[in-house]
Amino acid sequence: MVAFLAGAAPASARPAAAVPTLRYTLAMPAPQSHYFEVKMDLGGFPAEYTDVKMPVWAPGSYLVREFAKNVEGLQARTAGGQALAVEKINKNTWRVRHPKQASFQVSYRVYAFELSVRTSFIDADHGYLNGSSVFMYPADNKMLGSTIAVQPAAGWSQVSTALRPAAGKFTYKATSYDELADSPMEIGNQKVLEFTANGTPHQVAMFGTYTVDEPKLLADLKKVCEESHRVVGRNPLDHYLFIVHHLERGGGGLEHLYSTTLEVGRTAYATEAGYKSFMGLVAHEYFHLWNVKRIRPVALGPFNYDQENYTHMLWVSEGMTEYYSKIINERAGIISREEYLGKLGNALSEVENTPGNRIQSAAESSFDAWIKYYRPNENAANTQISYYSKGDLIGTWLDLNIAEATKGEKHLDDVFRLLYDTYYKKAGRGFTDQEFQNAVATVAGRRYDAFFQNSVYGTKPIDFAPVLAYAGLTLSNNPVANDGTLGANFSNRTGKLLVTGVVRDGAAWTDGLNVNDEILLVNGVAPGTETVNALLSAPVGTAVSVQVRRDGLPRDLKLTMRANPNRKFTIQPMASPTPAQQKVLAKWLGK
């Protein structure tokens, strides 16, 4: 028996608490002015005030971009149209005071004139947006679902997004702000192509002018997507969208849960190299739907949109995705095995010839992406290594070691399957650094702790000759040049020959040539083609007199040419590989 206090109503008689609701309206009445107009209709918010926030970064691009800087004219009103008090309380948060008003509207404009895969843009031709740079969210209700009604500019007939449709034309729904932020939109008159891969419908929204054999493009996209599926062997999709921007100069992509945005030069398809480069970009961003969007380090979701989200594991999330982009294209037949081995040799050359590889580890590169990788300066190559390129090589080393340890029965694909099943599906979270190492050990049947400590969290060079031999391959490296070098880079800018880079421990570094020095004289002669060649290559030990202008004043320097330390790495098949080596090679690159 339950007794009630006198005067208290039973629970069943009390009014139910209002369920919060959120509806966005996205308008673009004057696209040529580069503004999106946003309205947020909020209901069921009974507090005295509600804070609304604009993220400071876009997940997948590890840089604080301060999207709030593009917000203008924010105001709030009651459902009846009465103005509400609004106070900006920090760089990306607005406090809306609405006492006794559980429903209210926030409106604002966003200036969008940066066309990249990680920002937003609108002009007379089309609109493109990433949610985190346009849509605000209630600070305490990030997981609240929402409805998004899009009002395209006059004359525009298409909205392409991975968001699922809701009732109403050009109206969509998001289960949370994370999903909204992770679902870009292309709005305009883009051409939409379609294909099916692994039983899943795929759309390709093509913006801009381009010329391509569309049936071949779709067939190759299908091959790449299906080969990507085979890596993990799990299909988390029921739909997928590619947004492709064809620009005068294009390059790059950004992954999302059910979509990706790609930028490509509008003439890229015209050459075999350009076409294959695009397919490499496709494979990279598509494989991200497993590696980073679902198989992820613990720091990479759910996101804190207010600040940096640190991880030591971008060499896995980005570097190994880059590794797989080439592997997938080789397995799909887009590139040949010889082309793949050539790319691997080039990757080795790139990393080993970067002085920063001896200064910064792959784990440090990942952690410091926020302040270094996305903000390089003239000294970056001397102090940094890319977690993309280093992670690519770490993936190669682990893949071949696992295949050798299991006698060609397993490889790195099995590690990603284990991570998917264990952490994404069962635990519903990301993995820690140690859990990744444990997964590798579980699949291989042996531990590689010394390798991780020395060459992932440390800067010890990776010895690739033994692991390539597991697959019946040889590795050679030779000097890129026999002449000496100053260890500096030059550029002719507005008729002035300027120093643009100085290599650690080279002649320029040691003898005092600086970035931004203007070369006035080389051995007493004004700089021309011959003098530039003399600066770039001459016998080791050659003395060079250089006069420069620095901070407006002339300065005389004496430099001595040094041996070029760079090496060219080449990978070739052995003449007579053993059956065991052939089995490892087949497991690694496919039959």
Q: What is the pLDDT of residues 91-141, one digit of tens each?
A: 999 999 999 899 999 999 999 999 999 999 999 999 999 999 999 999 999
Q: What is the pLDDT of residue 464?
A: 97
Q: What is the pLDDT of residue 590?
A: 87
Crossing angle (nearest 10°) for helices 337-352 and 387-405:
120
Q: What is Dmax (Cα atoms) for the chain?
A: 106
User: 562 in helix, strand or coil?
Assistant: strand
Are 352 and 207 in the same domain?
A: no
Which of 130, 162, 188 represents a domain boundary (last residue)? 188
Q: What is the pLDDT of residue 4?
A: 32
Task: Supply the CATH number for residue 194's domain.
Answer: 3.30.2010
Q: What is the pLDDT of residue 346?
A: 97
Residue 279 lies in a domain: no
**Rg (the chain; Cα; Å):** 28
For residue 194, the enclosing domain spans 190-272
Residue 475 lies in a domain: no
Task: Supply the CATH number for residue 452's domain.
Answer: 1.10.390.10
Q: What is the pLDDT of residues 338-351, one digit of tens each?
A: 999 999 999 999 99
- Strands 49-53 and 496-502 turn out to be unpaired
Are 321 and 176 in the same domain?
A: no
Residue 479 lies in a domain: no
Residues of the chain with pLDDT under 50: 1-9, 11-12, 14
User: Is the backbone peptide bond immediately before 302 cis, with ω within 30 degrees of 0?
Assistant: yes
Q: Give the chain's domain count.
A: 4
Are 311 and 340 in the same domain?
A: yes
Are 76 and 175 in the same domain?
A: yes
Residue 477 lies in a domain: no
Q: What is the pLDDT of residue 482?
A: 80
Query: What one-character-per-residue DSSP string does 109-133 give?
Result: EEE-B--STTS-EE-SS-EEE-GGG
Which of 133, 160, 188 represents a domain boundary (last residue)? 188
Q: pTM for this one?
A: 0.94
Q: What is the 3-state secondary structure (H, E, C) of 486-504?
A: CCEEEEEECCEEEEEEECC
Are 219 and 338 in the same domain?
A: no
What percentage of the chain reaches a pLDDT higher than 70?
A: 96
In one-letter notation, the amino acid at residue 507 is: A
Task: Supply the CATH number for residue 548's domain.
Answer: 2.30.42.10
Which residue, among 125, 118, 120, has the nearest Cα to 207 in the 3D structure? 125
What percentage of the chain reaches a pLDDT higher than 90?
A: 90
Q: What is the pLDDT of residue 250?
A: 79
Residue 532 lies in a domain: yes
- The pLDDT mean for the chain works out to 95
Residue 281 lies in a domain: no
Are 246 and 298 in the same domain?
A: no
Q: Which residues contact 22 (CB under 8 A, 6 or more apart)?
A: 40, 41, 42, 43, 138, 141, 144, 145, 146, 147
